[in-house]
Amino acid sequence: MKGVVFTEFLDFVSGTLGADVADDVIDEAAVPNGGAYTAVGTYPHTEMQALVAALSRRTGRPAPELLSLFGRHLCRRFSVKYPEFFRAQTTLFDFLDSVDGHIHGEVHKLYPDAELPVFRLARRGTDAIDLDYASCRPLEALAEGMIHAAADHYGEPVAIATSRVAEAAGSFVRFSIRHAA
């Protein structure tokens, strides 16, 4: 998992709960490098799971809720750091459709070793899509938070239903997204 996700997570914790809480979370998670992450480094996703679990114990909030909140933060940060990806599309659904092909393609140019989730989008008319999320890492709550923040960015309120789909080729999470009134 790319270090930028770790550095942004620790910034998120520091910014919302304070630097002391971020330090406590790092200590409790007992990550091998003591929380010294670089944005360009690559780290095991299990370290992120340990950090989120420690934050969950610290705050009493469920890990999926924390991941979703972090996903919202991360998407907002990406919209500031990489505005060209957001300007290239004019609607939420077009943006989500560009993630797997265009955006992840650009990420691979910068970080050839990045292990990114796969997103497959199927349109269901003009107001609804199914977005399938396949990853070896259980971070669908992070992805859902990012979808909500992207919807906010484009000014398009959405409702999201989440389901796990098991097929012979493997399982994935399906986000059924529709524009909300």
Full DSSP string of 92-145: HHHHHHHIIIIIHHHHHHH-TT--PPEEEEEE-SSSEEEEEEE-SS--HHHHHH
Among 12, 44, 61, residue at a domain's last position: 61
Q: Are residues 34 and 78 in the same domain?
A: no
Q: Are residues 55 and 99 in the same domain?
A: no
Among 34, 61, 88, residue at a domain's last position: 61
Q: What is the domain count for the chain?
A: 2
Where are the alpha helices (H) located in 2-123, listed in sequence order?
3-17, 19-29, 45-59, 63-81, 83-87, 92-98, 104-110
Best CA proximity match to 179, nearest among 96, 70, 87, 67 = 96
Q: Are residues 94 and 165 in the same domain?
A: yes
What's the gap between Cα 176 and its chain centre?
Answer: 17
Q: Give the CATH number, domain containing residue 140.
A: 3.90.1520.10
Best CA proximity match to 178, nearest among 145, 114, 131 = 131
Stated pTM of the model: 0.92
Which structural domain, as residue segments, surrounds residue 113? Answer: 69-179
Q: Are residues 52 and 132 in the same domain?
A: no
Q: Are residues 44 and 81 in the same domain?
A: no
Among 14, 45, 61, residue at a domain's last position: 61
Q: Are residues 40 and 85 in the same domain?
A: no
Average pLDDT along the chain, 181 residues, taken 10 residues at a time: 92 96 96 90 92 97 97 96 91 92 76 82 94 91 96 97 89 95 71
pLDDT given for residue 116 in this prediction: 83
Q: What angle do CA 66, 103, 1 make, to 5 degrees?
A: 45
